[in-house]
Amino acid sequence: MAKDTLVIAGKSYESRLLVGTGKYKDFDETRRAIEASGAQIVTVAIRRTNIGQNAGEPNLLDVLPPSKYTILPNTAGCYTAQDAIRTLRLARELLDGHSLVKLEVLADQKTLFPHMPETLVAAKALVAEGFQVMVYCSDDPVMARQLEELGCVAVMPLASLIGSGMGILNPWNLQIILDNAHVPVLVDAGIGTASDATIAMELGCDGVLMNTAIAKAKDPVRMGRAMKLAVEAGREAFLAGRMAKKPYEASASSPETGLIQKIG
Amino acid sequence: MSAPIRITLNGAPREFPAPLTFAQLLDELSLAGKRLAVERNGEIVPRSAFQNASLVDGDRIELVIAVGGG
């Protein structure tokens, strides 16, 4: 039996769980939770270095070395296509020409909802510059299709708002996206607990990307492991093919013949 | 002795003695050898250019690193 792997931009990954690196207590907790999650692709943000106060300060990439993890730089905090493009050019330089990136262009500070018109503009420009773009997007099937047509290597619709932990609010839209996609579809944002990740995988998603659900659990290391198992369970259930639902009709699991005799 | 170079570094005004290459700038900031990326006036300055490329008055410099994010 062929190994079931996630293939993104021609590279295979055994883990279908992608994790963020934000909101942890410290780098040690980051490292331990991510190890427990089994994730091979980890997202990072690109930010100004603190001038004058960082001599000897540990660097995130020392804790999560690019030799061990596929680093996925994001454009979190960017509200225009131009800012996102600049950020990812810097990321590519920072990561020695690495071209796999996560594009997200936000529209609104309260909801962090994706700005789809700017996202489309940025995606087109980044693909033209040779970036392999995994793109955070709304769960609109038309947007997902357009991003795929522009050459994005994966589409990543939200399950619910970033950091909300509200789970999958519109499985029907996700299903339409999945039914039509020819590139990997990963749920990005909104996962709250293990069952949310399992549901995403049972729907047929190729992977799940999360940060807060692990980082803000009471025990992030344990939740990292829970998410690993949840994604694996959901994937296995999807591949196994669930039984048909039979509303209003029970079906006994035990034989209905050979029952002992009724008394009297 | 030439006039100092005034630049905007990560959004803040700074002065350095002239002349100043990118390698010297990073030395001054104790950032030499760190994994970071540099942008000048919106354009990437590749690591290979640090030794020879010089800063000029008015340059807007961004020095970035990878940090935790989702």
Query: What tens-digit pLDDT sequence spans chain A (264 residues)?
Result: 678 999 999 999 999 999 999 999 999 999 999 999 999 999 999 999 988 766 667 889 999 999 999 999 999 999 999 999 999 999 999 999 999 999 999 999 999 999 999 999 999 999 999 999 999 999 999 999 999 999 999 999 999 999 899 999 999 999 999 999 999 999 999 999 999 999 999 999 999 999 999 999 999 999 999 999 999 999 999 999 999 998 888 888 999 899 998 887
By CB neighbour count within 10 A (0-12 exposed, 13-18 middle, 19+ buried), where does A155 fall? buried
Residues of B in contact with A21 (CB under 8 A): 68-70
Kind of pairing, strands A41-48 and A70-73? parallel
| Amino acid A159: pLDDT | 94
Residues of A in contact with B69 (CB under 8 A): 20-22, 43-45, 47, 74, 76, 211
> Could you give phi then psi for residue A39, rounded to 5 degrees?
-65, 145
Which residues are within 8 A (CB) of B20 and not within 5 positions of it... i.e. 6 or more apart?
Answer: B5, B28, B54, B55
| Amino acid A209: pLDDT | 98
pLDDT tens for each residue of B14-30 = 999 999 999 999 999 99
| Amino acid A1: pLDDT | 61
| Amino acid A164: pLDDT | 92
CB-CB under 8 Å, B29 with A51: yes
Residues of B in contact with A86 (CB under 8 A): 39, 42
The DSSP annotation for B1-49 comes to: -PPPEEEEETTEEEEEPSS-BHHHHHHHTT-TTSS-EEEETTEEE-GGG
| Amino acid B61: pLDDT | 97
| Amino acid A126: pLDDT | 98
Q: Does B65 have pLDDT greater than 70? A: yes
Q: Write out the two tokens for A205.
A: 């998603």
Is A102 annotated in the active site? yes
Contact of A154 with A182, CB cutoff 8 Å? no
| Amino acid A52: pLDDT | 74
d(CA A235, CA A204): 7
| Amino acid A12: pLDDT | 97
How far does the CA of residue A49 sit from the closest CA of chain B (Å)?
5
How far does the CA of residue B51 sit from the closest CA of chain A (Å)?
16
CB-CB under 8 Å, A93 with B66: no
Q: ipTM of this complex > 0.90? A: yes
| Amino acid A54: pLDDT | 60
Residues of A in contact with B12 (CB under 8 A): 51
How many contacts does A have with B, using Cβ atoms within 8 A? 102
Tell me whether A86 touches chain B (CB under 8 Å).
yes
| Amino acid B1: pLDDT | 58
Contact of A200 with A208, CB cutoff 8 Å? yes
